Structure 1
Amino acid sequence: MGDERTDDETFAVSPPADEYLGYLLDDVVSDHMDANRRLARRAVNIVEAVDFAERRPYVYTTADGELATKIAERAVVFDVSLRLQLGEKAVRDLIRLTRDARRWLPQLWRRAEEGYVALPLVDSTLAGAYRLLPAPDATKEEKDAAAAAVRELDSRADDWAVACTPAGFRSRLARLVEKLDARRADERHAMALRDRRVIVEHAGDGMSWVSALVPTLDAVAIKRRLTATAKHVAKDRAETRSRDQIRADLFSGWLRGAGTPTAVKTKVFVTVPVTLLAGGGDAPNPSVPVETAEIVGHGPIPPLVAKQLFLDAKAFRRLITDPVRGVVVDMDRRVYRSTGAQRDWIVLQHHLCTRDGCTRLAMEADIDHDVPWSQGGKTNLRLLRPLCPPDHGRRHQTTFAYRTRENGTVEVSTPTGYTTPEEPPF
């Protein structure tokens, strides 16, 4: 018992509180820099893997020539995405960032490899460098001036990386790029105009955001028309919606062409349990599994929305499901075109592309034969599966192996030795 210490004795040999806290915070900084270094090294390794695959395409495909190189490049990106559980676009963005940063921002990239700067800040700086790069038909003087501007950007960003917060870095970056950009405002607008696009983001609870990057003049005109029409609609004494709700409804109706000869006719699969139509879904019994309506591939929708869809539908197809498991077990055979019925059945059964991790909709997928048609495969429901076009192409153009499990999902084995794991049940 002689080696026991009192609390006072233990405190006496412990480091001071401020010194100990300093050790902890130094470790935090060290770990942060290590993480930056590892991510930069991972990016470099991915680029090297792509370069290697392009030089040796036979790893992924039996094709020849330029086609083999293209297939191998797409295949190794897919291989990386499976292993890292990242989307292929995220992998391609990482490859683009690494290659372009090493080319245009060598000083800042060195800081990334040393751990002083995170890759998102490198990407932000690259966006500024892209603005400064000359047009393909630029004169030699214009190209020289652009190269000098990019070098200055790299040098200044190199200094900021070790002395500025991310917010300070981005603020200085924006001011410097604006100063170095020699193009006229109309030229910059023409470049930005190329990026116009529409984005749909699902917000849950049966709602989604629809965003569009359009010229500011068009955006102002759209808002003014929506507001003017909403003001007129709001004058109706029976109207109970807010101005924002009216604008949102007008926006949706105009884009869908509601009430016009060109109204959208896109097929949308919606499953509505009969218990909801009968009112049973409003007050569920906790001892009975709750059935929910859903837009196939997009998720649940509220019972009232489901009932309204059913009432508005001009025609519907009867579907028989297992009342306990809620899975499709049969389908009304009052369908004229067999191939159409098979596709509808497969969409309702799988919702998404069946390849592990893929979230593309089954209704936009190709119908793939589990046993290839050329090898005697049969066109029946038990042997068909939805594969999105990229996966369908890879299945037949590369040496990736696609195998259907008992539960209908598809595992992928890569020629480099990786097999996708089966996802746990929901």
Structure 2
Amino acid sequence: MDDPLEPDEAHRRKTRAFRERVEASFAAEAAIHAERAEIYAEAFAYTQELTAKISSATSRERDMPLRAMAAELGPAVHVDDRTMQTHLFEGHRLYTEFAATWEAWRDGKIQKAHTRVIVEFGAELHDAAARAAYEKDVLAYAVKTTAGRVKPYAQQVADKLNPATVQERHDAAVCTRRVWVEDRRDGMSTLGIDGPSTEIHGIFDRLTQQGRAIKATDLQERRQAAGAEGAGGGEATGDVVDCTTDPGAAAAWFDERGLDEIRADIALDMLLTAAPTIDPTATGLGSIRAMVQVSIPATTLAGTTSGGAELNGKCAIDPTTVRILAGNAPGFDRVFLHPVTAEVLTTDRYTPTAAIKRFLQARYVRCAFPGCRRPAMRSEIDHHQEYRKGGKTKGDNLGPCCTRHHVTRHAAGWTVEQLPGGRLRFTAPSGAVYIEDPPPRVMFIPDPAPEPARAPF
């Protein structure tokens, strides 16, 4: 009997066909992405030509051609302009400084991940001859293997050719430190810190030590509880008491968190409550408190429904958390929605404040410029028709616009018109039109009343 695991000729032909189709697909995809990088490079070069004609030395004016180009191209393909600006720069750098890598990508010999690795480490080599030697060496290896294997090799080659010392490179890298946030599902987000390795590992080690100290204390309390139980009713074994099954230990509380959970809780607690040791502002950084904008249906707040809430228009948070926030809030913005379209009609508040600003924040939640996600509460209020040209400071002539897009809109010549229902019609300098709707609102309905109990037979 033939071995079913032994491939026959038909199996080999099918496998070869799949492989050839995959190869052809990857090659076609690589050619398209390489062509797009070429377009980015040409667009970036054009903005540099425009910048060269600007006599002003201010960075804002000299940055405007690139920012204006990104604002034109981004919305056209549903990409925010900051990301598009990065694409333009990276495309130009790849196409002009790593031409051989771009050609290999275009020809399907490597994939996008390879180009990222090659450019990442090669960008540190400012000497053209050294960079060319680096590219030739690494590219010859890249066409034969995966991007993951290329990365350590590229780093070794770059380090060998880099005239800067490790200390010099570290001093430059320190200037790129930053903090960033990535929103995830189920009311969770990730806070990331890029910083010097010593400090980052020191923070992690301190959190680990603190977490282990908490776990050690918890373990000691468990053993004491077990000993007390043994002394009261039997032999003390020193085993950990199961609080869920032992009635004698029901009143005790033990920490069931894992070490990762404890580390996260300690970090959040210190960041949200502790004051910085160094405070050059003389105003008290410790007095600054976190600010968020939370939208929650009144029915959820009242407990009638169990729907979620929204944080800064960017991610969902759980009802329990938002009820705690609401309980500690000094005041509320009550948002009235149209019963059918869910359009924000108006807002009010018991404590007087900037009502128009609250109304716009409730309606738009984030910066209204196409593709932007900056929270409205961190944005400026922009007159659609300029105030100096007769524009009124009214809700139908205003919208939240972050500083970047506020400047870009006026400097690059964008216009905006408010349509019924808060819709905004943005017109780019090229004539392209983008319609931005206020963020959709989820309509919640009360949970159905429980059915009456049936009379027993």
- TM-score of the aligned structures, taking structure 1 as reference length: 0.78
Residues 227 and 77 of structure 1: CA distance in aligned 2, closer, same or farther (over 3 Å) = same
Q: Deviations over 1:13-36 (max 9, x none)?
A: xx9775576455434323322221
Question: Which residue number corresponds to residue 78 of structure 2?
Answer: 85
- Which of 109, 115, 139 aligns to 2:102? It is 109
The answer to whether the Cα contact below 8 Å between 2:41 and 2:92 also exists between their aligned partners in 1 is: yes
Query: Which ranges in structure 2 are unaligned for 5 or more consecutive residues?
Result: 1-8, 222-252, 277-283, 442-457
- Report if aligned partners of 2:367, 2:401 keep a CA contact under 8 Å in 1: yes
Aligned with residue 197 of structure 1, among 178, 185, 188: 178
Match of 2:260 in 1: 244
Q: Does 1:279 align with 2:303?
A: yes
Paired amino acid for 2:27 = M
Q: Equivalent residue of 2:31, what SS?
A: helix
Q: Are the equivalent residues in 2 in contact too, given 1:256–1:264 (CA < 8 A)?
A: no
Deviation at 1:251, TM superposition (A): 0.8
**Contact 1:37 / 1:115 at 8 angstroms: preserved in 2?**
yes
Q: Which residue of 2 aligns with 1:173?
A: 154
Match of 2:93 in 1: 100
Q: Aligned to 2:260, what secondary structure does the other structure show?
A: helix
Instruction: Give, as a single letter, the amino acid of the residue that structure 1 aligns with 2:35.
Output: R
**Does the 8 Å CA contact 1:111/1:161 hold for their aligned counterparts?**
no
Look up the SS of the partner of 2:372 in the other structure: coil
RMSD: 3.2
Residues 180 and 56 (structure 1), Cα distance of their counterparts in 2 relative to 1, 3 Å cut: closer
1-structure distance, mates of 2:189, 2:125 = 36
Read off the aligned partner of 1:130 and give its amino acid letter. Answer: A
* Cα distance in 1 for residues equivalent to 2:208 and 2:16: 57
Q: Structure 1 unaligned segments of length 5 or more: list them.
A: 1-14, 58-62, 134-145, 283-290
Q: Which residue of 2 aligns with 1:342?
A: 356
Identity of aligned residues (%): 23
Question: 1:66-107 deviations in whole A, cap 9, x for unaligned?
Answer: 577642222112111122222333333333333333443332
Cα distance, 1:393 vs. partner?
Answer: 1.6
Q: Aligned pair in 2 of structure 1 residues 16, 330: CA closer, same or farther (>3 Å)?
A: closer
In 2: Cα distance, 1:396 partner to 1:388 partner: 12
- State the partner residue of 2:228: none
Q: Supply the distance in 1 between the matched residues of 2:10 and 2:314 (Cα, whole angstroms).
A: 56
The answer (yes or no) to whether the contact 2:179–2:192 under 8 Å persists in 1 is yes
Partner secondary structure for residue 371 of structure 1: coil
State how far apart, in whole Å, the 2-side matches of 1:154 and 1:318 are. Answer: 58
Three-state SS of the structure 2 residue aligned to 1:132 is coil
Match of 2:428 in 1: 414
TM-score (norm 2): 0.73
Contact 1:362–1:386 (8 Å) recurs in 2? yes
For 1:124, the equivalent position in structure 2 comes to 117
Q: Deviations over 1:36-74 (max 9, x none)?
A: 1222222222222333355468xxxxx964577642222
**Structure 1 residue 182: Cα displacement:** 4.9
CA–CA distance in 1 between the matches of 2:435 and 2:141?
A: 43
Contact 1:53 1:73 in 2 (8 A): yes
CA contact (8 A) 2:42 2:92 kept: no
Change in 2 beyond 3 A, CA 1:176/1:391: same
The equivalent residue for 1:136 is none
| Range 115-124 or range 209-218, more displaced | 115-124
Residue aligned with 2:421, SS: coil
Residues 338, 345 of structure 2: 8 Å contact kept: no
Distance of 1:54 and 1:178 partners within structure 2: 31
The offset of 1:232, in angstroms, is: 4.6
2:188 corresponds to which letter in structure 1?
M
Distance 1:54 1:186 in 2: 33
Q: Does the CA contact (< 8 Å) of 1:233 and 1:239 recur in 2? A: no
How far apart in 2 are the matches of 1:344 and 1:96?
Answer: 37
CA change 1:150–1:345 in 2 (3 A) is same
Gap change, CA 1:408 and 1:240, over 3 Å in 2: same
1:420 partner SS: strand
